[in-house]
Structure 1
Amino acid sequence: MSEERESTLIAAFGGWNDACQSATNALHHLIDSYDACEIRHINCDGYYDYQVSRPTLCRVNGKARIVWPQTSFYDVSCSPDQHLITLIGPEPNYHWREYCQKVLSIASELHVGSVITLGSMFADCTHTRPLPVGVCDDVDCDSDCDCGEYSGPVGITTVLEAMAREQRFAGTSIWVSVPQYMGNDDCPMGTLALLDALGHKLGIRFESSKLIRETREWQAKASMLTRCSNQLSDYVHQLEEDWDKAEQSKEASGSDPHKADQLVQEAEEFLKRF
């Protein structure tokens, strides 16, 4: 990897920011689909509560080995001239500011110029329609992003992105909403939506044939689950109607750029009569 080229760091964390593992699975997909090698890591000591993020026992060639939670950085070669740095690990339990500072220090060593965080959350959305994706950066937000209106608890992704901007890294967050009625199983549809948004942001077309196939299988499973419950079926139907109405509203205003302003003006004129 060229030391003079400005790299992009893509970060995802398991836990609170990772509904259905959609965000971390996006990075696992990149690591598995392209030439990738681990280039840095952050040791777990001091950052994790082992009763929450437990070490695991695995066997390599018949020998038992304890694997401790840690944050790993990978160099992912998407093509001969396109490299990404990915960061993946559990959300730390302690010392977030120190942890984020260590991440950004490593990012500086790797000549990173921009930091992109991925996240996923449960929401009222349905498997039969495109999943909502919000993209927000330090320049502007897209029309589907609510980041400017949100107030409340945040995860490590928000803290890392805020500290990155303070240190003059370009910062972007990409979030996908996944159906809460599907439980906490993996959601390949959410992972695919994140990778599509990330690829659009970076101008890269990621390999996704496996994810497309898994998404179809996941949607079929979700449809079968829906058919088994009248209550769930009614709920999904209502979500579909809400989504369709919102799309129709967007199309109506998009077909005439002055239509939304005209509606506001007409409403104001009507109210002046009273």
Structure 2
Amino acid sequence: MLDPAELYRLETDVSRPDLPASTLIVSLGGLLDAGFTQKLMTDHILETCESEIVASFDVDQVLDYRGRRPVMTFSSDHMSHYEDPSILLHRVVDDEGTGFFVLTGPEPDYQWERFVEAVRQLVRMLGVRLVVSAHGIPMAVPHTRPVGMTRYASDRTLIPENDPVFGEVQIPASLENLLHLRLAESGTDTVGFGLHVPHYLAQTEFGDAAVAGLEAVHGVTGLAIPIVELAAQAGLNRADIAKQIEDNPEATQVVSGLEEQYDRFVQGRDRKSLLAAEMAELPSADEIGAQLEEFLREEAPGDESPESDNRYDGPDFLR
């Protein structure tokens, strides 16, 4: 492996006492970001919070320009602008003055392991203890129901109320997920959120997922990132989606079917939870055995009274 340290350049003095921070939010896209969830979140954070660039990566070494060509502007008779791609590490300050980092840019096409090692070096150098990411995944769910999410973490205690929807499945790899894996292997805590975006909105902005993602990030990090403006934009976005679907009978039918499917699924999970609670209230095998032993001890040997032939004084649940 080539030297990972040559893949990035520090833009500020890392010895500054105010530079270290415990949280890093990763926003490197990947195979998909349904509803532009991650982009909406990242843009909102960088637009509403004070920030500075502390490190930049050499994109020439890791991007396939012909695979996804950058945009240029042609003005009448000359080339006037080139949107050069960049992968940047920002230091951001939340509303309470707490610093954190945000890593943004296009997902590298090449040298994944070297890039991950470079990030790991920065994580150690800057005192990061928790790495978090959130993105949208398309699901057969309606936009009229609460946004669900798939949670994952290097340590299950970081997501204590997690109720998995999926079991073990194989998925296409992304650098972001590889980063979760490799950092966890080296002892850094990581948490990820996959926001469930209606599949029919996968290619358009879905503000509700971005709001849910930001709330999830706040829940695990405690960062005071302003959310009012993002929530307001999500409300306008929701109204626009509702209007477009209302004007399309076919879309209305699709959403109605997804609502019925979603509600049946939720009811099924509720029944499962209720059954689990009822089962938890039943006595254990040891408790049943102890009660039976107690009952047998109370039955005097040789008792042949007529009443004893049909009498049962054991546990009520065995009647």
Q: Place the TM-score, normalised by the shorter chain, in its bin.
A: 0.7 to 0.9
Counterpart of 2:187? 168
Take 1:37 and 1:260, find their aligned partners in 2: how far apart are those partners? 55
> Is contact 1:39–1:73 with CA below 8 Å preserved after alignment?
yes
Counterpart of 1:13? 28
Take 2:202 and 2:150, find their aligned partners in 1: how far apart are those partners? 21
> Is contact 2:71–2:82 with CA below 8 Å preserved after alignment?
yes
In structure 2, give the amino acid aligned to 1:66: Y
Take 2:18 and 2:143, find their aligned partners in 1: how far apart are those partners? 43
Of the candidates 219, 230, 233, which is equivalent to residue 200 of structure 1? 219
> Is contact 2:180–2:190 with CA below 8 Å preserved after alignment?
yes
- Paired residue secondary structure (1:186): coil
Take 1:225 and 1:166, find their aligned partners in 2: how far apart are those partners? 46
Take 2:58 and 2:241, find their aligned partners in 1: how far apart are those partners? 39
Counterpart of 1:215? 234
Of the candidates 99, 117, 125, which is equivalent to residue 101 of structure 1? 117
The structural deviation recorded for 1:32 is: 0.8
Take 2:279 and 2:217, find their aligned partners in 1: how far apart are those partners? 30
Counterpart of 1:272? none
Counterpart of 1:84? 100
Counterpart of 1:269? none
Matched, 1:189 2:208: yes
Q: How many residues align?
A: 262
- Paired residue secondary structure (2:93): strand
| Range 101-110 or range 161-170, more displaced | 101-110
Aligned sequence identity (%): 20
**What RMSD over aligned residues (CA atoms) do the two structures have, in Å?**
2.8
Matched, 1:231 2:250: yes
TM-score (norm 1): 0.84
> Is contact 1:119–1:175 with CA below 8 Å preserved after alignment?
yes
Counterpart of 1:145? 164
Matched, 1:69 2:69: no
In structure 2, give the amino acid aligned to 1:170: D
The structure richer in strand per residue is: 1
In structure 1, give the amino acid aligned to 2:35: C
The structural deviation recorded for 1:54 is: 2.5
Matched, 1:54 2:69: yes
Take 2:260 and 2:214, find their aligned partners in 1: how far apart are those partners? 27
Matched, 1:26 2:41: yes
Counterpart of 1:259? 278
Residue-by-residue CA offset, 1:132-164 (whole Å, 9 max, x unaligned)? 112211221553435652213121111111011
Matched, 1:126 2:132: no
- Paired residue secondary structure (2:60): coil
- Paired residue secondary structure (1:130): coil
Take 2:279 and 2:105, find their aligned partners in 1: how far apart are those partners? 45
The structural deviation recorded for 1:55 is: 2.7
Take 1:22 and 1:6, find their aligned partners in 2: how far apart are those partners? 25
| Range 113-122 or range 193-202, more displaced | 113-122
Take 2:278 and 2:238, find their aligned partners in 1: how far apart are those partners? 36
Take 2:183 and 2:166, find their aligned partners in 1: how far apart are those partners? 17
The structural deviation recorded for 1:191 is: 0.9
Structure 1 residue runs without a partner (length 5+): 264-274
> Is contact 1:116–1:171 with CA below 8 Å preserved after alignment?
yes
Take 2:280 and 2:177, find their aligned partners in 1: how far apart are those partners? 34
Q: 1:139 to 1:202 in 2, by over 3 A?
A: same
In structure 1, give the amino acid aligned to 2:113: R
Structure 2 residue runs without a partner (length 5+): 1-15, 283-319
Take 2:260 and 2:164, find their aligned partners in 1: how far apart are those partners? 21
Residue-by-residue CA offset, 1:6-39 (whole Å, 9 max, x unaligned)? 5111101234232232112212211111111111
Residue-by-residue CA offset, 1:159-192 (whole Å, 9 max, x unaligned)? 1110111111111111102112125122211111
> Is contact 1:164–1:171 with CA below 8 Å preserved after alignment?
yes
In structure 2, give the amino acid aligned to 1:177: H
